[in-house]
Structure 1
Amino acid sequence: MDLNEEAYSADHILQRALQQKDEQWLSVISHLRHDWMNDIQVLYGYMRLNKYDKLAAFMETIKQKAAKESSVAKLGVTKLVVYLQMFRIQCPQILLEVDIEQELQLTELPVPSERVADAAIAVLDGFIRHTYEASNGEPQGLQLEWTVQDEELVLIFDYRGGYREAELNDTLRQAVSMNGSGPQWQLETEFEPQWAAITVRVPFVRE
C-alpha cells in the first residue's frame, strides 16, 4: 500500500467514525422526540377530557423527567451522555433509572472523566451481557446513582433481577482497573439471589 492509499484508508476510517457518531446522535434525538411527542399527546388528551386533576400530576412527571435528562447532559462526556440516552433503545429489557446529584458535572470534578465514563459504560455493558429476567417474572431494574462523598466521586449500581455472578464480577474488576496509573479506585460488591449492589469509589486527584 503506497502513501496515497494509506492516506485514503485513514481518511475513510475517520469519515466512517464521524458518520457513526452522527447516526448515534440522530437516533438519540429521534428517540427523545418520540418520547416528548407521546407526552404532549397525553397532555392534550387530559385537556380535551377536562381531567385537570390528572393533568397537574402528569405535568409534575414531565418536570421530573426533564430535570433528569438535563442532569445526564450536564455530565459533560459526550460518549457517556449518548450511551445513557441510548440505553433504553439498546436494552429495553432492563429499566434503567439514573439519579445524579444536583449540579454534578463530571468534567468539572478532579477525576479522570474519560476513564470514569469508560468504566461506567463497561459496567452497564456487563449488566446487559450477564443478566437475565428474574425468576418471578418481574422486569429487570437497574438504578445508577452519581454522587460526591468525602473527596470521592461515588457510582452506585443497584440491580434487581437474575444475573451470572462470576461473569459480572469479572467485568466489574476489569472496569475498575481502567483508572490507569492514578489513585486506586475502590470496588464494593454485594451479591444476593435476584439482587446485586455495586459501588465504585473514585478519589479526587488534587494538584
Structure 2
Amino acid sequence: MSYILDALRQAEHDRQHRERPLLPMAPPEPSLRRWWIGGALLGLLLNAALLVIILLPSRPTTTPEPAPAPIVQPPVTNALTPKPTPDEVRKPSTPKPAPTRRSPAKKPVAPMARPVAPSSPSRLPDPEPVSKPPLLDVLPVNARRNIPALKLDVHIHSDQARQRFVIINGRRYREGEQIEEGPVLETITPDGATLRQGRQWFRLPVR
C-alpha cells in the first residue's frame, strides 16, 4: 500500500515539474559593463594628467616686450620765414613809473634809560643760632683754641635792653659790643650772656 502511495506522489511531482515554466537567465547587460570600463579609463587619464602637472616644473611666463614706437621726424621746411614789415614793427611800450609810496612818519624814539648799577650789597648779619648755644666749658678743644679766657664778673639783666650790662674780665659791656679779647656780646639772658667768636656761639653762665 505504501509503495502505491509513494509511486503516486512521485508521479504527481514529476507532472508538476514538467508543467512549471522555466525562467530564462538574463544575460548581463552590456551597457553597464561598457560604462564601468569607460569610467575606469577616464579616472586613469585624470590621474596621469595630474601627475604630469605636479612633476613638470612650471615655466615662467615671459611677457613679450612691446616694440618701440617709430620716431616720427617733423618735415623740414626750406621756406624762409618772412621778415616783418615796418608797419608790423611796434615800438616797445615804455613802462609807467610805479607810484611812490610814502613811508610812514617815524615815531620819535624815546631815549633808553641807562641801567642803574646795583648798589653794593650790605653785609648781612651773622645768623643767630637755632638752638641754645653750648657753654664755653663744654666746647670741644679745637673750638676753644680761638676763644680767649673769659670770666663773667657781674651780670645785670632787665626787661629793658638799655638797662642790661655785664662785666667780663673787669670791663663793662652792653649787648652788641665787642669785648677787648675779641668775642662779641650778642645777648644778655637771665642765666648768663651769649657771645660769638667768628661763627662759633657759646654762653657764659652766672656763677
TM-score (norm 2): 0.15
Larger CA Rg, structure 1 vs 2: 2
Higher relative contact order (CA 8 A, sep 6+): 1
> Greater strand percent: which structure?
1
TM-score (norm 1): 0.15
> Greater helix percent: which structure?
1
